[in-house]
Homo-oligomer: A and B are copies of this chain.
Amino acid sequence: MSVTYAQGFSAAGVTAGISAIKGKKDLALVVNNGPLDAAAGVFTSNRFCAAPVQWSRKAVANGHIKAVILNSGGANACTGEAGYRQSETTAATVASLVGVEPSDIAVCSTGLIGELLPLDKVLDGAKAACAALADTSEAGADASHAIMTTDTKPKTVTLDGTGYRIGGMVKGSGMIAPQLATMLCVITTDAVVSAGQLQAALSAGVNTSFNRIDVDGCMSTNDTVLLLASGASGIEPDPDEFNDLVAAACASLARQIIGDGEGASHDIRIAVTGATSEEAALACARAVAASNLLKCAISGNDPNWGRIVSSLGTVPSDIAPYDPTKVTVDVNGVRICEHGGAGRDRSEVDMTPREVHIDIDLNAGDAEATVWTDDLTHEYVHINADYES
């Protein structure tokens, strides 16, 4: 279903032979059939951003996008002028197929950094995808499969507003990864909204979702989140409802990335409350989420609060003022750390659920923030050390 759930969108996912996995669908096309073509985007801030990011950032700047072409099997990052020309040529080819201008086409790529794409295969794939375009749920599903890399399952969302719909798809394998787990996301809506409304809703939604999953300091060269509106429902949405739904779509897709994290055996929710500001809460949650030692402990089903508070203790006091002797930590509802020291015995914590909830109360204020991460497992190392890249 995914991106075709909203009216006015057709999609396709085809096997273009770009991916090293023989027969895998690796090229997706999403077309906005209007009447509107409003669009918004959020992109990686990585200074080595990929050619398709450079292209798409320019294309979406005027608030109009008619179609998005996405490929797995190659990131087209760190490929210089030649790489940029590949994105440009790809956009021009799709534009002529769809009957619009190249500047109306967004391009997204994911896969290995540093190599050019097999352009002939991409362009042939674009033609095949154009021929296969449909507004069916199957076509939406095909597109969501075509963007997968190390993902083990497609990730999609559908939501209903008052008289309008939102659909979306994302790829990304949880642990933030500058190469194989590059995150690409396309969200569609048939609501009647302006590009400005879309950008505001998307920026706010991304901020509390994709920007709060995992945190190892790495960011991808290719991360792209696009929001397209066709206006096909004819409904001008209530702004608050629309913003909430876009945020909910982002949150659902972000949560699915964590649920499919590379090698993960636990999805970890880190909620920091009692902070003096949201920024302080977020800094603390990110510090805990970045601890390899904690992630290892969780994979071993050990609710190791020492590794939680020692990570908390690295956040400078000017960023997050709190008194270490007043901090409490609950893991899956058991207060194993109280007054910054040992609380109830950690053997009381049930670590069998896939979800692990770490609730940290700084007891310093009223602000809070939540970050999601995955545990660090043998399988993660296997995927990222032993697989051919």
Contacts and interface: CB of A to CB of B under 8 A. Distances in A.
B339 A80 contact: yes
A268 to B, nearest CB: 14
B342 A306 contact: no
Nearest to A314: B219
Contacts of A325: 80
Given A296-B381, A340-B48, A378-B381, A311 B389 contact: no
Interface residues of A, number: 65
Contacts of A292: 175, 216, 218, 292, 376, 380, 384
Given A47-B324, A78-B340, A378-B381, A113 B309 contact: yes
Contacts of A220: 310
Contacts of A309: 48, 78, 113
Interface string A268-299: 00000000000000000001001111001101
Interface of A: 46-49, 75, 77-80, 83, 112-115, 175, 177-179, 216-221, 287, 290-293, 296-297, 299-300, 302, 304-307, 309-315, 317, 324-325, 337, 339-342, 376-378, 380-387, 389
B47 A313 contact: yes
B377 A179 contact: no
A80 B338 CA distance: 11
A112 B306 contact: yes
A291 B178 contact: yes
A342 B293 contact: no
29 contacts: A46-B310, A46-B313, A47-B313, A47-B324, A77-B306, A77-B310, A113-B307, A113-B309, A113-B310, A114-B306, A178-B313, A179-B304, A179-B306, A179-B310, A217-B311, A218-B290, A218-B291, A219-B314, A221-B310, A221-B313, A296-B383, A296-B385, A297-B385, A300-B384, A300-B386, A306-B389, A376-B381, A378-B385, A381-B381
A77 B315 CA distance: 17
Contact of A296 (B219, B291, B293, B384): B384
Contacts of A287: 217
A207 to B, nearest CB: 18
A11 to B, nearest CB: 29
Contacts of A83: 341
A65 to B, nearest CB: 25
Nearest to A310: B178
Contact of A178 (B48, B306, B339, B384): B306
Nearest to A346: B114
A179 B313 contact: no
A320 to B, nearest CB: 9
* Of A179, A218, A291, most B-chain CB atoms within 10 Å: A218
A49 B324 CA distance: 10
B293 A177 contact: yes
